[in-house]
Copies of this chain bind each other. A is one copy, B any other.
Amino acid sequence: MGIVVQKFGGTSVGTIERIGRVADRIISYKEAGHQMVVVVSAMGKSTDVLVDMAKEISAHPDEREMDMLLSTGEQVTISLLSMMLEKKGHRAVSLTGWQAGITTESVHGKARIKHIDNERMKSELAEGNIVIVAGFQGISEEGEITTLGRGGSDTTAVALAASLKADKCEIFTDVSGVYTADPRVVPAAQKLDVISYDEMLELANLGAGVLHPRSVECAKKYGVCLVVRSSFTDEEGTYVQEGITLETGRVVSGVAHDEDVAKITVVGMPAQVGTLSRLFNTLATHHVNVDIIIQSSYDAKASNISFTVAGSDLTHALQTLEVSRADLGFDKVEYEEALTKVSIVGAGMVNNPGVAAEMFRELAQQEISIKMVSTSDIKVSCVIASEYADRAVRALHSIFQLDAQEVAVVHGI
């Protein structure tokens, strides 16, 4: 049998006792004949403790030093899990990001993996060892410790699975799979048995943000069979695979929402060739991720450009714009916080015109005003005020017939 990569998040390894249960699960796979590579996050809230210490020193600690600090969290977990496996009679070896050969960009806080030198991992597997790798971290070509940012450990797991040509990559988390909506918001949400990479990418923030888009992108690119499942039960999870026909024939397969959205409007951008590209190049250079973009011309000489960023990136984005103001030549910047992006996702939408219209109609019915819209082949997203987010998600989940039949009443509004 081949290699299986498993990833356990912070909650799954939050205590020594839980690390013991994780070890038992790994051992059951090992004893079934698989070669095991396991990626773990920092224990429970330990990363928060480290962040708090840094914040006690500075509101904006140096990013290189933050990576130096935060990368210790995973290093603690890998050593404890290895000890636990050895205590239970199995040979294991822990590897930091750099020991596992994970080379990243020279960016701190949200580096992307450039390549993986899997020689060390392969030789450890060949010797019969269970390989435990620190998630979320790597090393730049200059020898600096880097971290991968949000969802980093998922990305580590998928990248290792791709590099090692693993049979599958199982992401263990505190929910039992991918849901048609966040079950905390929509009690009638249902677990999906299987979903395509593209849908998963769009739904990436569904089901308690169970998978980060980066890890799904990587899985799609390298054809990694990804499984999302609970670390606390033996329940089957959700398979994320290529070329899946949704068994239900539903047009919409899920409702996603992201509550960390801010909208920035750059007013009075000169209408010259290249200004748009300069604006977004500047933001990209400063690692501000832009999502939805809308341009509206108001006269021949200038236009307004609105776009969304993560709420947590807002301050940094505004600073970046302020510094670049003279260079870019715009009049002023306006912004709006506390916004939510609500999206309906489904591979079946391609052949069903009118889905977007149905979504807008339902939101109007709920008296929720739409601030921005963005569409793709398999998705329609609307930006609304966060105060209406839960109501919008429940209404859309219901109107697109996603509510589980056994749940008769959707609670609350």
Taking beta carbons and an 8 Å cutoff, which residues of A are in contact with B?
Answer: 16, 19-20, 50, 53-54, 56-58, 61-62, 64-66, 68-69, 71-72, 75-76, 78-80, 82-84, 86-87, 93-94, 96, 99, 120, 143, 145
Q: What CA separation (Å) do A53 and B81 show in the bound complex?
A: 11
Given A75-B72, A76-B72, residue A83 in contact with residue B99 (CB < 8 A): no
Pair B65/A87 contact, Cβ less than 8 Å: no
A57-B80, A64-B93, A65-B94 given; 4 more Cβ-contact pairs under 8 Å: A16-B56, A57-B87, A58-B87, A69-B76
- Distance (Å) between the CB of A315 and the closest chain B CB? 18
Which residue in B16, B20, B68, B143 is a CB contact (below 8 Å) of A94? B68
Q: What CA separation (Å) do A43 and B7 show in the bound complex?
A: 30
Chain B, residue nearest A61 (CB): B83
Which residue in B57, B80, B93, B94 is a CB contact (below 8 Å) of A54? B80
Q: What CA separation (Å) do A76 and B16 show in the bound complex?
A: 21
Q: What CA separation (Å) do A58 and B88 show in the bound complex?
A: 10
Given A68-B75, A69-B76, A72-B76, residue A83 in contact with residue B96 (CB < 8 A): no
Contacts of A94 in B (CB 8 A): 65, 68
Contacts of A120 in B (CB 8 A): 143
Chain B, residue nearest A70 (CB): B79
Pair B82/A62 contact, Cβ less than 8 Å: yes
Given A53-B80, A143-B99, residue A86 in contact with residue B62 (CB < 8 A): yes
Chain B, residue nearest A93 (CB): B64
Pair A62/B75 contact, Cβ less than 8 Å: no
- Distance (Å) between the CB of A24 and the closest chain B CB? 13
- Distance (Å) between the CB of A77 and the closest chain B CB? 10
Q: 8 smallest A-B Cβ distances: which pairs?
A: A69-B79, A72-B72, A68-B79, A65-B79, A58-B87, A61-B83, A57-B83, A16-B56
- Distance (Å) between the CB of A192 and the closest chain B CB? 37
Given A57-B87, A87-B57, residue A76 in contact with residue B50 (CB < 8 A): yes
Contacts of A50 in B (CB 8 A): 76
Q: What CA separation (Å) do A19 and B93 show in the bound complex?
A: 34
Pair A57/B76 contact, Cβ less than 8 Å: no
Q: What CA separation (Å) do A65 and B99 show in the bound complex?
A: 14
- Distance (Å) between the CB of A99 and the closest chain B CB? 6
Q: What CA separation (Å) do A82 and B76 show in the bound complex?
A: 21
Contacts of A79 in B (CB 8 A): 54, 65-66, 68-69
Q: What CA separation (Å) do A32 and B35 show in the bound complex?
A: 58
For this complex, 12 residue pairs linking A to B, each with C-beta atoms less than 8 Å apart, are A50-B76, A53-B76, A62-B82, A62-B83, A62-B86, A64-B93, A65-B79, A65-B86, A68-B75, A69-B76, A69-B80, A72-B72
Contacts of A20 in B (CB 8 A): 57
Contacts of A53 in B (CB 8 A): 16, 76, 80
